[in-house]
């Protein structure tokens, strides 16, 4: 239990500072890469907000069935992530590391890990397994962090 609570804390900490990073206007894109970068950054904030709502639900002791749609949405986004990092979309304001493209197989494997962890979270939600859901939420956070540590530039918000 101690381990899962630590994992939960680590998962929540991932998004610390995210609220301050929301863009205030859509950049006028001169190229498709800028649009896809803006899109994936916006979806990352959606993920972060959803992560926060799931954590709040766990903290309240909610029936995890009420959080299953959120978990499935995270899994769906995880599966879309590789496609949101096309070649040539690594310039600022992207925070992607060059390894996203130079180690593509590794990057896609980490995204698949995230999708699998979120899909398992959704299964535990469906089963109404409150303790399992809380523990698995920590695993989802670790899957996010494993990918970010390797493929996302460190920034001031982390």
Nearer to a second copy, 6 or 26 (CB): 26
- Contact with a second copy (CB under 8 A): which of 7, 11, 14, 50? 50
Map tokens 């939600």 to a residue: 125
Question: Using the rule CB under 8 A, is 66 a contact of a second copy?
Answer: yes
Q: Quick one: which segment of 83-91, 92-100, 127-135, 147-155 binds a second copy (CB under 8 A)? A: 83-91
Closest CA to 151 of 106, 117, 115: 106
Question: Using the rule CB under 8 A, is 92 a contact of a second copy?
Answer: no
- Contact with a second copy (CB under 8 A): which of 52, 90, 106, 132? 52
Closest CA to 120 of 82, 78, 75: 75
User: Minimum distance from CB of 60 to a second copy (Å)?
Assistant: 9
The terminus-to-terminus CA distance of the chain in angstroms comes to: 26
**What contacts 138, CB < 8 A, 6 or more positions away?**
3, 4, 5, 6, 7, 8, 10, 11
Nearer to a second copy, 77 or 133 (CB): 77
Nearer to a second copy, 6 or 80 (CB): 80
Alpha-carbon span 146 to 158, nearest angstrom: 14
């Amino acid at each position: 239990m101690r381990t899962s609570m630590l994992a939960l804390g680590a998962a929540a900490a991932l998004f610390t500072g995210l609220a301050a990073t929301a863009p205030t206007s859509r950049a006028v894109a001169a190229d498709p890469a800028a649009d896809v970068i803006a899109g994936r950054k916006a979806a990352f904030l959606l993920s972060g907000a959803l992560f926060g709502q799931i954590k709040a639900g766990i903290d309240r002791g909610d029936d995890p069935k009420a959080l299953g749609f959120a978990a499935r949405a995270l899994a769906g986004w995880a599966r879309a992530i590789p496609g949101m990092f096309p070649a040539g979309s690594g310039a600022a304001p992207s925070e992607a590391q060059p390894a996203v493209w130079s180690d593509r197989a590794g990057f896609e494997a980490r995204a698949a890990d995230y999708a699998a962890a979120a899909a398992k979270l959704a299964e535990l939600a469906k089963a109404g397994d409150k303790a399992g859901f809380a523990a698995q939420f920590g695993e989802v956070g670790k899957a996010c962090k494993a990918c970010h540590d390797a493929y996302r530039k460190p920034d001031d918000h982390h």
